[in-house]
Amino acid sequence: MDTTNRATAPGIRTRVARAVAAATLAAVALSATACKLDLDNPNAPTREEIVTNADGIIAVAPGMQGQFAQTIDDYVVTNSLVTDEWGTRSLALISYVSLLTGENFDPGYDIVLTPFSRSYQVILSANTILEGTQNVSLGVATTAGMNALARLFKAMALGMLAQQYQRVPVEITAAGGVPRERAEVLDTVLVLLERARADIANVSDASLAEFRSLALAPGIDLRNTIDAMLARYYLIDGQYAQAIAAADRVNLGVLSELRYPSPTRNPIENLAFQLRYVGGLQSFVNQAEAGDRRPAYWLQTTATTLPANPPDTVLRPLRKFSTPNEAFPLYLPDEMKLIKAEALTRQGPTNYAAAATLINEVRTQTTSAVDEPVAGLPAIPLTSLATEAQLLDQIAYERRYELYMQGLRWEDTRRLGTQRTTTPTFTFLPLPVVECQANPEQPCG
Amino acid sequence: MSLFLRTARHLAITLVAMPAVLAAQQTGTVRGRVTEIASGQPIISAQVQVAGTTLGAMTGATGEYVIPNVPVGTRTVIARRIGFAEMRRELSIAPGQTAAADFAMTAAAVTLSEVVVTGTASPTTRRALPNQIESIAGEEVGQAPAATAIDQALQGKLVGAVISENSGQPGGGVSIRLRGTNSILGGAEPLYVIDGVIIDNDSEALVSIGANATRGGAALSNRIADLDPADVDRIEVLKGAAAAALYGSRANNGVIQIFTRRGRAGTPQVSASTEYSTGRTPKKYELVEIPIAGLADTAINTTLRVGQAIERYDVQDDVWRTAHSTTNRLSVTGGSGGTTYFLGSSYQREQGIMRKSDYNRLNLRANLTQQLHPRFDVAVRSNFVRSHAEYIPEGEQTQGVMTGIIFTPTSFNPRFDPNTGRYPANPVLTTNALEVLARYEAPEDVTRFVGGAEGTWRLRDDLTVRYVAGVDDYRREARYLQPPRTQGPNFTGSIQNPVQFSRQFNNDLVATHEWEARPQLTLNTGLGFRYTQDNDEVLRAAASDLPPDQTLVGGAVQSASQARTEIRTVGWYVEERFTLANRLYVTAGLNWDASSAFGESERLQMFPRAGVSYVLSEEPFFRERAGSVLSLVRLRAAYGETGGQPPGAYTRFQNFENTSFAGRAGLVSSTTIGNPDLKPERQREWEVGAEVASFQDRAQLELTYYDKRTKDLVLSVPVAPSTGALRQFQNIGVLSNKGVEIALNTINFNRPALTWRSRLTYAANRERVERLATRADTLVSGYLNAVIEGHPVGVFYGGIYAREPNGAIAYHDTTISGRLWRSLPFRARDTVVVQGARTPVLAQRIIGDPNPDFTMSFLNTFELPRNFELSVLFDGRFGNDVANFTRRITEFFGSDKNVEREIRGDTAVGTFARNPTGRINIYEEYIEDGSFIKLREVALTVGLGQALASRLRARAVSIRLAGRNLYTWTDYSGLDPEVNLFSAQTVARGVDFATTPLPRTFTMSLNLTF
């Protein structure tokens, strides 16, 4: 090695060489330090970031409410097509025709998947909020409001699932949950709702101001909705006293609704007018009592009919939800009266008169301070509402016209089975094919 | 291994003693001329190199070269040129003196002496390589007639590559597949490297003007189009994992390294060239001409009756044009005192064959090398590009110009109506094609800098350290203006103005050590480190409700969005090569790569490789027995592994997405679950091959067989929806590619009066999807291209004819919506059992394959005295199917020539036009054999002689007449079987849908060297 041949004084070349060597070493050192490989995603926050950050948790609340609001049509489409509410148009998808007629049905259809998958997306958001409120401090009132909101929406999503599918998982697990019997699902719904009620029972409206301004979507009345949902699901579950108690707590003078300011759009309007897939069945108009004002509230009864598929039916364009920014009610005030009427009837003959009175309140309403259908019909003599069958029959009629396209009629035909005017084409939806295939619990056997 | 320790020790010692090592050394100069032995003509662009150093030069137009600063002593000087046998001369270099070394080279078909640097830690001659590496000389690229992009110029020149120009619009749009497709959701285009700097070849569409963004979003351009082919010195191509393992987790699709021209020492040499070219469409659509109304005409005009006399309007002549293009180039090269430089500039104006389509590009390059010390060189290379393209919407865009023409019966007159002052609305698509041509704007501007710095430090004669750092930085601005009322009276206009910022940085540090351990055994060790960083950002601004004459973003409704990605990779590699008795070479290497896109648990990935090359013909026993017949026999085998980056930089996270509800900003969990264990797609490849030469090196046959298997392909796998999510990216798919590559190089004739060379290539690849997420999976991309287990990627999958038991198409009379249609074919149905009931569903079958069975090319060059050269290149693709969506539309909407048969009454009404259940849904009908042979290039170069040159005070003058895509032999009925609506998309290929055909181009150029 000739490394001992050292030059006596560093010449220009040596200096250059030193500089270059230093630069090379610096470059190596620099590139070694620049090698951070755990890069964050600048486009979107991750779950870890959300559940440990107060603002992140709060932002999931509008996200969750929006998910539910944009899923309304999934619940309504199946309900309205398998019962006697809607028909489909020739432009619609083959799966819509299939729901309507019961023919050529395929569990791989999107309409089978979306009510299911989107409900669990709402539930996942609710879980994220419930996890986050334990991690970060939002203050007592806001935490209570957030928990109540998350439990309400989780319950509503599960409740909607219970009305569409026979057995569904009640909790989210990493790979897919174990499907539970309907009774168990309803119990979970009611537990969630009672806990939601308890969450905010001792919190004043004033202290919930921050929660309302940051998290709760305008239009949604949290306390009333929790009670209304309790009434709805206690009735479905057959717990009549609790149903009556809950319905009694609901303030019937206010609405609780999902609002769709631009650029969002009411999904039912989108379906009926933008996509032009659906319309109301003419039979809904024809089978109403003479003088009932409610068909004209829901449908355009004087407009020209729409070409339908199959072609031997006649469709009416919707009147309600015919503009893009119309709100969708989470429940209608008269649903509470009809829930009470039904619960009273089920409790036995001593309550028949009270039930008949409630039915007549619904029938004889001619005006309302809020946007709801009014029947404007004469009262029915109590003698004609004297038996359980007569009462349930009348309740089924009133519910059909009062709660049109609210996603409730399918369940009504199950509960008020003897008073059916329609036989649904399916008793329940099957589980989506992808759930059957991808859930390791093998929910489809 | 003690070798690494040795190298490390050397490195340490030398760093400490560096000033002494770099002490001044005495040098001399080597100078000479390289000529062809038979004709005595100068050989241009021959490499002359001093063995054992990186000192070297390239010959100029007169065949002369100069190498300054050669260390004194006895040195071996080597001259190399593709197509000639390597020559060596020993010289004695005295201090301050000039030694002369002239070379008279002999033509040879053998290529084993070429030096290859890509994919190996230290430069090596081809004979030592265990794997096949293609090497393309710069002039094959730079002088490819009418090729504006490098990838385009490679067509027909790479064995085992399918190179397609996806659209005939100017400004790029080329896709290259090396040894098949090697991904499903990831990209399929090779990694591009320029002088050691990894560069971007993005083809993401910023605006949808070809295929819709929802279908893969491939653009009409790709970013290699920014580079000037004339800057290329040579190209090296690694086609699979066996060769590309050094590039680790980015090399599943192969690597293409481009070396740009270096300066040559000596007095400044100026080259100027000017080129003019003219292009035309090879074919026009044949449309209905007979002036009688048919069913399709009555459908757009209800006042017409079938059989009524009408006028016809074929407006193709308002759209196609003869394109005139020019390219001007000026470059200077020279050098003295340890400095060499190459300064190049070019300006290109290219017209498209469709009116208004246009492309121009300014390219400036400065490559400098400076010898700071006999043991230390630095090189700085920089390239600035500015380009501007005017595109025309086409393909599936309803605003496409050719789309408008094929969708409309010729009874519609789209020409401007002076009475209304407007273009009439198209009765089918609303948008009037001629109005689009006149009023729409879809420009794209690119401003780009590609530059790098390289330092090579020969610490000792046996130890070299090289450092390369480079950036590729560009801004791409697209704009798409759709003026108000051009898509119906209620259309308020729209303008989009996305801007993409892309920056790639990489650096490589590699130390190589050579050790002659025994007289017959040499060991070469390489140690390297690599870091890469890719940043990409897209800003989108858009507006609608435009005021009149608005051409920039502004209007009543405005929107903007932003997206950013960053990927970093770090890699370390070691390589060891054993050379035994100059005939047996064994190479082994390991590469560790980490990427920010991999899950944390899978961060560090190892990619091994190994190979052996055995030059059998060097063995004495072989020479004795067979040496007179076979001048060369080499056998080689190689194995290697590489990776592919997973799609998306952030798929390892569980991301939350923006949403808004009731006026509040919100977040929701993405329905795609993050996969914290995501790892690269991993390819393993082994290849075996041989080179055999005979007839005194005048014929060489190259054979390669390869077997690639890419596993861990990232697929979007459905998860149980009860998890609250729908999909997850998982490493699950497996894909294999196997094939052969054959090349035969011959010198058919070698006399002073004529040298005739040929190169014939053949390549066949068999691709198979081995595994998807579930056996029943059929992933469909684009329209019909499907990924199905057991079949090649992208097979056509769609409806078939209902047939009689004997196989003939079944024809029935039927009533649809009250109308009787006679003798119509129907789409076949299958019966499936759903929920216990038998249900007929439309049948789907594999109906074609866009992948060729094999490709071939045939190049002949004839060199005559007085610098007269002719080259002819044929390029062919065989057994590939094309989905002719253009014909599907022209038939249904009644503009196709075939429809005349129906109008004349030769076939049933509804056979072609406007039959809602007819053959429009029977895709089998539109799958055509897309095999073709193209006369890809013809070039005739004539040197104008010294007398004329000196009159012009030039050293050399030549003129060149050339052509590109001059003729196509094919059975395909459309305009061009080579185009693809979905451009560089991985799966969706072979779809022709109102896509601009490749022009037939003639060029004429004048080249002067001063």
A169·B600 Cβ contact <8 A:
no
Q: Least CB-CB distance to A47: which of B656, B666, B671?
A: B656
C-alpha distance from A374 to closest chain B C-alpha (Å): 27
Quick one: pLDDT at residue B96?
84
What percentage of chain A carries pLDDT values higher than 70?
91
C-alpha distance from B465 to closest chain A C-alpha (Å): 10
β-pair partners for A279: A87
Q: Is the pLDDT of residue B322 over 70?
A: yes
Looking at per-residue pLDDT, the higher value among A202 and A98 belongs to A202
Looking at per-residue pLDDT, the higher value among B335 and B575 belongs to B575
Looking at per-residue pLDDT, the higher value among B371 and B818 belongs to B371
pLDDT in tens, B231-248: 998 899 999 888 888 888
What is the 8-class DSSP label of residue B481? E
d(CA A226, CA A237): 16
B661·A217 Cβ contact <8 A:
yes
Within 13 Å and on the Cβ side, how many CA atoms surround B579? 16
Q: What is the mean pLDDT of chain B?
A: 89
d(CA A433, CA B718): 11
Q: Is the pLDDT of residue B218 over 80?
A: no
A262 part of contact set with chain B, CB < 8 Å: no
d(CA B458, CA B463): 6
Quick one: pLDDT at residue A18?
61
Looking at per-residue pLDDT, the higher value among B767 and B2 belongs to B767
Closest CA to A7 of B458, B512, B373, B71: B373
Closest CA to B402 of B337, B450, B354: B354
What are the angstrom distances between the C-alpha of B439 and each of B181, B416, B486, B550, B551? 39, 12, 9, 12, 11
pLDDT in tens, A34-48: 568 888 899 899 998
Q: Is the pLDDT of residue A33 over 50?
A: yes
Quick one: pLDDT at residue B246?
86
Query: Which stretches does DSSP call E strand in B616-753?
Result: 630-644, 656-661, 664-669, 672-673, 681-694, 699-718, 727-751
Confidence of residue B644 (pLDDT cuts 50, 70, 90): very high
pLDDT in tens, B405-423: 999 999 999 999 999 999 9
d(CA B317, CA B450): 41
d(CA B850, CA A310): 40
Looking at per-residue pLDDT, the higher value among A256 and B908 belongs to A256
Quick one: pLDDT at residue B21?
43
Cβ atoms < 10 Å from Cβ of B76? 12
Quick one: pLDDT at residue B235?
93
Q: Least CB-CB distance to B17: which of A3, A59, A443?
A: A3
d(CA B531, CA B594): 10
A57 part of contact set with chain B, CB < 8 Å: no
Strands B27-36 and B103-105 come out as: parallel
Sequence-ordered list of residues with C-beta below 8 angstroms from that of A138, at least 6 positions apart, any chain: A54, A57, A58, A146
Strands B191-194 and B197-199 come out as: antiparallel
pLDDT in tens, B484-519: 989 888 888 999 999 999 999 999 999 999 898 888
Quick one: pLDDT at residue B14?
47
Instruction: Provide the token pair at B763.
Output: 């390549």
Q: What angle do CA A445, A188, A210 make, to 5 degrees?
A: 130
Q: Is the pLDDT of residue A15 over 70?
A: no
Q: Least CB-CB distance to A46: which of B570, B656, B724?
A: B656
pLDDT in tens, A164-205: 999 999 999 888 889 999 999 999 999 999 999 999 999 999
Contact B50, B30 (CB under 8 A): yes
State the alpha helices, DSSP H only, in A331-419. 333-347, 352-364, 388-402, 409-415
State the alpha helices, DSSP H only, in B304-459. 401-406, 433-439
Quick one: pLDDT at residue B816?
66
Contact B833, A105 (CB under 8 A): no
Closest CA to B530 of B131, B119, B54: B119
Quick one: pLDDT at residue A65?
96
Which amino acid does the sequence have at B263?
G
- Give the orientation angle of helix A72-82 with respect to helix A94-101, to 10 degrees: 50
Closest CA to B279 of B157, B168, B434, B443: B168
Quick one: pLDDT at residue A9?
47
d(CA B59, CA B77): 14
d(CA B203, CA B205): 6
Q: Least CB-CB distance to A435: which of B659, B722, B774?
A: B722
Average pLDDT over residues B775-781: 78
Q: Is the pLDDT of residue A6 over 50?
A: no
pLDDT in tens, A49-96: 999 999 999 999 999 999 999 999 999 999 999 999 999 887 777 788
d(CA B259, CA B232): 6
C-alpha distance from B580 to closest chain A C-alpha (Å): 26
Q: Is the N-terminal amide bond of A263 cis, ω within 30° of 0?
A: yes
Quick one: pLDDT at residue A7?
40
Residue with tokens 């007179």: B628
Sequence-ordered list of residues with C-beta below 8 angstroms from that of A139, at least 6 positions apart, any chain: A210
Highest-scoring range by mean pLDDT, A362-376, A405-419, B65-79: A362-376
Confidence of residue B57 (pLDDT cuts 50, 70, 90): confident
Sequence-ordered list of residues with C-beta below 8 angstroms from that of B621, at least 6 positions apart, any chain: none
A33 part of contact set with chain B, CB < 8 Å: no
Contact A46, B655 (CB under 8 A): yes
Which of chain A's residues have a Cβ under 8 Å away from the Cβ of B665? 59, 62
Contact A246, A230 (CB under 8 A): yes
Confidence of residue A442 (pLDDT cuts 50, 70, 90): confident
What distance lies between CA A150 and its chain's CA centroid?
Answer: 12
Could you give phi then psi for residue A48, rounded to 5 degrees?
A: -60, -40
Average pLDDT over residues B80-87: 86
Looking at per-residue pLDDT, the higher value among A5 and B888 belongs to B888
Quick one: pLDDT at residue B556?
84
Average pLDDT over residues B445-472: 92
Quick one: pLDDT at residue B2?
47
- Give the orientation angle of helix A140-164 with respect to helix A222-236, to 10 degrees: 30
Q: Radius of gyration over alpha carbons of chain B, in Å? A: 30
Q: Is the pLDDT of residue B203 over 90?
A: no
d(CA B482, CA A146): 46
A117·B835 Cβ contact <8 A:
no
Average pLDDT over residues B635-655: 91
Q: Is the N-terminal amide bond of A179 cis, ω within 30° of 0?
A: no
Average pLDDT over residues B920-942: 94
- Give the orientation angle of helix A333-347 with respect to helix A352-364, to 10 degrees: 160
B669·A121 Cβ contact <8 A:
yes
What is the SS3 assignment for B234? strand
Q: Least CB-CB distance to B15: which of A5, A21, A435?
A: A21
Sign of CA dihedral A54, A59, A61, A64: negative
Mutation target to probe the B interface, by most B beta carbons within 10 A, among A47, A172, A185, A262 is A47
Q: Is the pLDDT of residue A122 over 90?
A: yes
Q: Is the pLDDT of residue B902 over 50?
A: yes
A434·B720 Cβ contact <8 A:
yes
Looking at per-residue pLDDT, the higher value among B210 and B685 belongs to B685
B564·A42 Cβ contact <8 A:
yes
Quick one: pLDDT at residue B217?
60
Q: What is the per-residue burial (b if ≥16 Cβ within 10 Å, else e) of A40-61?
A: ebeebbbbebbbeebebbbbbb
d(CA B725, CA B657): 13
B722·A169 Cβ contact <8 A:
yes
Contact A75, B686 (CB under 8 A): no
pLDDT in tens, B932-986: 999 999 999 998 877 888 888 888 899 999 999 999 999 999 999 999 998 888 8
Confidence of residue B195 (pLDDT cuts 50, 70, 90): very high
What is the secondary structure of B820-849 as a DSSP string?
EEEEEE-B-EEEEEETTEEEEEE--EEEE-
Q: Is the pLDDT of residue B49 over 90?
A: no
Strands B191-194 and B255-260 come out as: parallel
* Interface ipTM: 0.89
Which of chain B's residues have a Cβ under 8 Å away from the Cβ of A256? none
pLDDT in tens, B536-591: 999 999 999 998 888 888 888 889 999 999 999 999 999 999 999 989 999 999 99
Within 13 Å and on the Cβ side, how many CA atoms surround B294? 36
A35·B568 Cβ contact <8 A:
yes
Residue B590: its H or E element: strand B584-595
Cβ atoms < 10 Å from Cβ of A324? 16
d(CA A216, CA B573): 56
Quick one: pLDDT at residue B607?
95
Whole-prediction pTM:
0.88
Sign of CA dihedral B119, B122, B125, B128: negative
pLDDT in tens, B658-707: 888 888 889 999 999 999 999 999 999 999 999 999 988 899 999 999 99
What is the SS3 assignment for B954? coil
What is the SS3 assignment for A115? helix
Could you give phi then psi for residue A55, rounded to 5 degrees?
A: -65, -35
A37·B657 Cβ contact <8 A:
no
Backbone angle region of B96, left / alpha / beta, with phi > 0 → left and psi within -120 to 50 → alpha: left
A146 part of contact set with chain B, CB < 8 Å: no
B566·A219 Cβ contact <8 A:
no
Q: Is the pLDDT of residue B270 over 90?
A: yes
Could you give phi then psi for residue B506, rounded to 5 degrees?
A: -145, 150
pLDDT in tens, A201-256: 999 999 999 999 999 999 999 999 999 999 999 999 999 999 999 999 999 999 99
